[in-house]
C-alpha cells in the first residue's frame, strides 16, 4: 500500500473509501463484506478532486432517505466524516479508454437511482455465507442462488450502489466475478452486526414502477431468506410491506458451484480490492 498526492488522482480512477464511523449502513457493509482495508464505499474519480458514486443521503438509519442516485462529491465531503480515500491500482490489461468512454455517458444531468435492491441482495448473500455453519450449506446456497437471480433481473444502467457503479464503468461483468469471489473471508473479524439499529426500506420507494419480473424475483428472494436465514432481517435489513413478504414456493436445488458467475449488482468493495493490484492512500 503506497501513498499518492491528491494531484496524482486522474479522472476515471477507481476509488475505495473507508467506512463513515457514524453510518449504520457503512458499519453493516464492513461487518458483512470484511474488506481487509476496511472499505465500505467505492466510486470513480470525476476530476477536480471529486468522487462520482452512489450512496443514500439523509439521516441514517431512518428510511426512506434521499436516494437520488449518483452524486458528485468533493474528497473533502468524505474526509470531513473521518473517512480515508484510496486509489485502486487496476490489474494489467484494463482498458482505461473504454472505461472513460462509459464514464462520459454519465454526465451530472443524467437521471439515476441508488440501488436499494442491490444493497439488500448483496447483504443477505454475504450474511448467509458468513453464517453458513449455522444455517447449513443448502440454506446458504438457496439464499445466494436467489440473490444472483434477482441481481440479474434488477441489473440496470441507471441504478447502482457504490461498487456496482465502479464495476459497470470498468465492465467487470465481462470478467466475471464468481460465488467464490463473493464469499467473505473468515480470517477477518467483523465487529458484529449492529442489531439494535434496523435499516428499513420503504416498498413504495423500492417497487415503484418495477416490472412484474423484478417484483417476483424480489418476493422469491425475500421468502428464501426468511426460510433459510431469518436472522438476517433481525441483524441487518428489514424490508417492509405485505406484498414483498408474500411466501412463495421454494424449489430444491443442487449445490451452488463456487465458479458460478455473479452479476455486478453483487460486487462489493472487497471484491474490487481483491481484483486490483493494491491501493494507494490519497494524502490530505
Note down the domain range covering 55: 2-113+270-282
Examine the domain organization and report whether 124 and 82 are in the same domain. no
CA distance 284 to 280: 13
Per residue in 1-48, pLDDT (tens digit) is 799 999 999 999 999 999 988 877 788 888 889 999 999 999 999 999
Measured distance CA(12)–CA(24) in Å, rounded: 29
d(CA 268, CA 61): 21
If asked whether residues 195 and 152 sit together in one domain, one would say yes
279 touches 89 (CB < 8 A): yes
Same-domain check for residues 78 and 132: no
Note the pLDDT tens digit of each residue in 219-264. 888 888 888 988 886 655 444 333 333 322 323 345 688 899 999 9
C-alpha cell at 91: 490489474
Same domain, 53 and 15: yes
Read off the pLDDT of each residue in 159-184 and give the average, rounded to a whole number. Answer: 90
Q: What is the pLDDT of residues 189-216, one digit of tens each?
A: 555 443 333 344 444 456 667 888 888 8
Which of 245, 22, 56, 274 has the alpha carbon at shortest distance from 162?
56
Question: Length of the chain in residues, anyone?
Answer: 284
Tell whether 38 and 103 lie within a shared domain. yes
CA dist., res. 226 & res. 146, Å (int): 12
Helices 137-154 + 212-228 axis angle, to 10? 160
Amino acid at each position: 500500500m503506497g501513498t499518492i498526492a491528491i494531484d496524482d488522482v486522474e479522472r476515471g480512477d477507481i476509488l475505495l473509501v473507508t467506512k463513515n464511523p457514524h453510518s449504520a449502513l457503512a458499519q453493516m457493509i464492513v461487518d458483512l463484506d470484511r474488506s481487509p482495508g476496511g472499505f465500505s464505499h467505492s466510486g470513480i474519480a470525476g476530476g477536480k478532486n471529486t468522487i462520482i458514486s452512489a450512496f443514500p443521503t439523509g439521516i441514517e438509519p431512518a428510511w426512506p432517505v434521499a436516494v437520488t442516485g449518483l452524486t458528485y462529491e468533493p474528497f473533502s465531503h468524505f474526509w470531513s466524516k473521518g473517512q480515508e480515500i484510496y486509489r485502486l491500482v487496476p490489474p494489467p490489461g484494463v482498458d482505461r479508454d473504454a472505461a472513460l468512454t462509459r464514464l462520459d455517458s454519465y454526465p451530472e444531468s443524467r437521471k439515476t437511482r441508488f440501488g436499494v435492491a442491490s444493497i439488500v441482495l448483496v447483504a443477505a448473500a454475504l450474511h448467509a455465507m458468513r453464517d453458513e455453519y449455522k444455517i447449513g450449506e443448502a440454506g446458504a446456497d438457496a439464499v445466494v442462488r436467489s440473490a444472483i437471480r434477482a441481481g440479474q433481473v434488477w441489473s440496470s444502467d441507471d441504478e447502482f450502489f457504490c461498487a456496482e457503479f465502479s464495476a459497470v464503468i470498468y465492465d467487470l461483468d465481462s470478467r466475471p466475478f464468481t460465488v467464490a469471489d463473493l464469499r467473505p473471508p473468515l480470517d477477518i473479524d467483523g465487529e458484529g452486526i449492529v442489531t439494535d439499529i434496523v435499516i428499513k426500506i420503504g416498498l413504495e420507494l423500492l417497487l415503484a414502477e418495477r416490472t412484474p419480473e423484478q417484483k417476483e424475483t424480489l418476493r422469491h428472494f425475500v421468502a428464501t431468506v426468511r426460510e433459510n436465514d431469518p436472522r438476517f432481517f433481525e441483524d441487518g435489513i428489514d424490508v417492509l410491506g405485505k406484498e414483498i413478504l408474500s411466501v412463495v414456493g421454494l424449489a430444491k436445488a443442487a449445490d451452488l458451484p463456487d465458479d458460478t458467475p455473479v452479476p455486478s449488482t453483487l460486487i462489493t468493495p472487497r471484491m474490487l480490492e481483491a481484483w486490483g493490484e493494491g491501493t494507494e492512500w490519497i494524502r490530505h
